[in-house]
Structure 1
Amino acid sequence: MVDVTAIARPGAEPVDLSLVVPLFNEEESVGPLIDRIVVGMAAYAGRWNLVLVDDGSTDATILRARTAIARPDIEAVIVELQRNFGQTAAMQAGIDQADGRLIATLDGDLQNDPADIPRMAAELEARDLDLLVGWRKNRKDGLFLRKVPSWCANKLIGRITGVKLHDYGCSLKLYRSAVIKQVKLLGEMHRFIPAWVAAVVPSSRIGEMAVNHSARAYGTSKYGISRTFRVILDLLSVLFFMRYRARPGHFFGSLGLGIGAISMLILTFLAVQKFIFGQDIGTRPLLIIGVMLFLSSVQLITTGILSEMIARTYFQNKETGSYTVRQVFRQAD
């Protein structure tokens, strides 16, 4: 990860809110997006700025973004990543660059409404929250390809993580900077940001608010039905990290001890059959099962010890990055 200079100008008043927008092949959307942001943020009383993150676009997104921010009514910066690292890494790059007391994230495809952000900021302060999640109550997406899988995923995520929200997948979220900067986003974990935040603050400081949602005006969605299977796999990872991130040995050790107990019962039973009743156990499948379970138990316990060592190394070095910045453009450039 390359350290980059913050947006704030020397001697300027502190930034109250930073907007982070990841972009990937959104050449048609980026101009209208900035226009909507300027109009929508007109109702916001504090100082705000914009962080655009180009996630290795292969079209003219970066060029049009540079042109779009060359205007006097906006304070903006573009972070150009070296290649396509994915939405999670792009979002992390923007959060690292943002210097606002509050940080808002939204998609670059014009489906989120920037006019919701001032209302969300007021709501977050009024309810004294650390994270306010947008709820696309009237979602403008396909029923079977987007809405139904999303509804199932939201129910499953809420049940497993304990953070009850209607819409985990909405990119329009508002955070307190001091809280979200404690969370490092890796892989494709942007869908589970409320769960990661719940590992830092109580879930009572996480709320949601109904927001506007529009149909995609340009381009095509970067997601398909295959995302459902990735969500399930990611959810297992979230569950593991929420409960066992600092003590992975307990997870693997518990499995190992449980399987070991079953193997000992099987082997004890076979030993009684052999030495007390004189039965031949050499050809019994149960013997093979018992031995395999014992070996699996030893392997899981050993894995738990190794994972504890890796976890301690990780927590001692938290500067691991998930992206590489090619260059940073400001309006003066």
Structure 2
Amino acid sequence: MDTTVFSRPSAYETSEDHPYLSVVAPIHNEVDSIPHLIESIAHILSENQISYEIICIDDGSTDGSTELLKEEAAKRNDLQAVILRRNYGQTPAMAAGFKCARGQIFITLDGDLQNDPADIPEMLAKLNEGYDLVSGWRKNRQDAALTRLLPSKIANWIIGKVTGVSLHDYGCSLKAYRAEIVADMNLYGELHRFLPALAYIEGAKIVEMPVRHHPRRYGSSKYGLGRTFRVLMDLLTVFFMKKFLTRPMHVFGSFGLLSMAVGFLLGLYLTIIKLGFGQNIGDRPLLILSVVLLLGGVQLFSFGLLAELLMRTYHESQQRPIYRIREVVGIHPNR
């Protein structure tokens, strides 16, 4: 294993109350992995003289992980154990970890020891090149080919096409984020796998980096093919957020106007053949279709108006601007 020690830039120097790096690790039934995970993170970061904290989020474990995390947190000064009331899932667990983190940089990784903390210093060096998010790429992934690798490759390709952010490995939990990027993202559902796409929506500069990946040493995987449907639903959510978050009327209103226009033309056609040619239109399917299209168009247009109001409430209630400023150079009075 390559454990090259990176020289510490001055940016790694922070106060004791605000460490430079926050390592966020969701935990669910990983009691055998926890001691090795904590020690390996602490060893690598201490060796590289990086100010850090470790935040382990217990996501409703039932195998003794909760008690072990509490014991470790009580005797260590670099570990915070966040115990959730029940199993909420990886996205809420990450959100809880981000909420508790105090660092300038956040690192996320799984608690099953398949991600290697030895990659963290290199990811930090990559961030210092001017990126906002460094996403890990498990180039030599140690998982089953049929049930894990093949579905993952297909999913990564689809996600890249839909979101416009082409990555080899969306599912790799080992990622590095600047804290201000995470602060701009609200996580719901199971959106953790789409964090690069959400960051891209916020204007982040993203780069992918090959990282190590080890076979699972303890326990069994919590993932399976049954998550595919949920991934697709979340993908549609991210696509809508990317395209129409600040202009929902553009999608609802467009379909609504199209539906009303087609319904109106069909109604006009039926009116002409009724009044001009005296034909009976009461039993024609086109009459039902015309009415449905007109009503559907009105409803879609109304949804668009409601979505616009919700969007404005969303941004204004949180004082969230619809733009993101990367930096301001120089002094600009009265701005």
Under TM normalisation by the shorter chain, which class is it?
0.7 to 0.9
Q: Distance in 2 between matches of 1:261 and 1:109?
A: 56
Residue aligning to 1:330: none
Q: Distance in 2 between matches of 1:81 and 1:164?
A: 33
Q: Distance in 1 between matches of 2:175 and 2:166?
A: 15
Moved more, 291-300 or 270-279: 270-279
Q: Distance in 1 between matches of 2:295 and 2:253?
A: 13
Q: Distance in 1 between matches of 2:96 and 2:243?
A: 26
Q: Distance in 1 between matches of 2:106 and 2:125?
A: 13
Shift of 1:199: 1.0
Please report the TM-score for the alignment, with normalisation by the length of structure 1: 0.87
Write the mapping of 1:78-93 to structure 2, written as runs, cut at 5 A: 78-93=81-96
Residue aligning to 2:69: 65
In structure 1, runs of 5+ residues without a counterpart are 1-9, 320-333
Residue aligning to 1:100: 103
Contact preservation (8 Å) 1:259, 1:296: yes
Moved more, 54-63 or 88-97: 54-63
Shift of 1:157: 0.8
Aligned CA distance change for structure 1 residues 59 and 316 (closer, same or farther; 3 Å): farther
Q: Distance in 2 between matches of 1:151 and 1:11?
A: 42
Q: 2:181 aligns with which of 179, 182, 186?
A: 179
Contact preservation (8 Å) 2:25, 2:55: yes
Shift of 1:80: 1.1
Contact preservation (8 Å) 1:40, 1:116: no
Shift of 1:314: 2.4
Contact preservation (8 Å) 1:130, 1:176: yes
- SS of the residue corresponding to residue 77 of structure 1 reads strand
Residue aligning to 1:316: 316
* RMSD of Structure 2 on Structure 1 (CA): 1.8
Shift of 1:83: 1.8
- SS of the residue corresponding to residue 19 of structure 1 reads strand
Q: Distance in 1 between matches of 2:119 and 2:158?
A: 27
In structure 2, runs of 5+ residues without a counterpart are 1-13, 320-335
Q: Does 1:221 align with 2:207?
A: no
Shift of 1:244: 1.6
Q: Distance in 2 between matches of 1:11 and 1:253?
A: 52
Write the mapping of 1:46-195 to structure 2, written as runs, cut at 5 A: 46-69=50-73, 75-126=78-129, 128-195=130-197
Shift of 1:131: 0.2
Matched to 1:267, the amino acid is G
Contact preservation (8 Å) 2:170, 2:194: yes
Matched to 1:68, the amino acid is E
Q: 1:32 aligns with which of 25, 32, 36?
A: 36
Aligned length: 306
Contact preservation (8 Å) 1:138, 1:212: yes
Matched to 2:291, the amino acid is V
Q: Distance in 2 between matches of 1:169 and 1:317?
A: 32
Shift of 1:284: 0.8
- SS of the residue corresponding to residue 117 of structure 2 reads coil
Residue aligning to 2:298: 298
Once the two structures are superposed, residues 13-45 of structure 1 have per-residue CA deviations (whole angstroms, 9 ceiling, x without a partner) of 641111000111111211111122123324433
Matched to 1:220, the amino acid is S
Shift of 1:71: 5.2
Please report the TM-score for the alignment, with normalisation by the length of structure 2: 0.87
Q: Does 1:20 align with 2:24?
A: yes
Q: Distance in 2 between matches of 1:36 and 1:27?
A: 15
Q: Distance in 1 between matches of 2:88 and 2:313?
A: 24
Residue aligning to 1:328: none
Shift of 1:11: 6.5
Matched to 1:260, the amino acid is M
Aligned CA distance change for structure 1 residues 239 and 11 (closer, same or farther; 3 Å): closer
Q: Distance in 2 between matches of 1:133 and 1:43?
A: 23
Shift of 1:70: 5.1
Residue aligning to 2:283: 283
Contact preservation (8 Å) 2:45, 2:51: no
Matched to 2:166, the amino acid is K
Higher RCO (CA 8 Å, separation ≥ 6 residues)? 1
Q: Distance in 1 between matches of 2:301 and 2:58?
A: 44
Moved more, 56-65 or 167-176: 56-65
Contact preservation (8 Å) 2:253, 2:301: yes
- SS of the residue corresponding to residue 186 of structure 1 reads coil
Shift of 1:167: 0.6
Moved more, 19-28 or 240-249: 240-249
Q: Distance in 2 between matches of 1:44 and 1:269?
A: 77
Shift of 1:183: 0.7
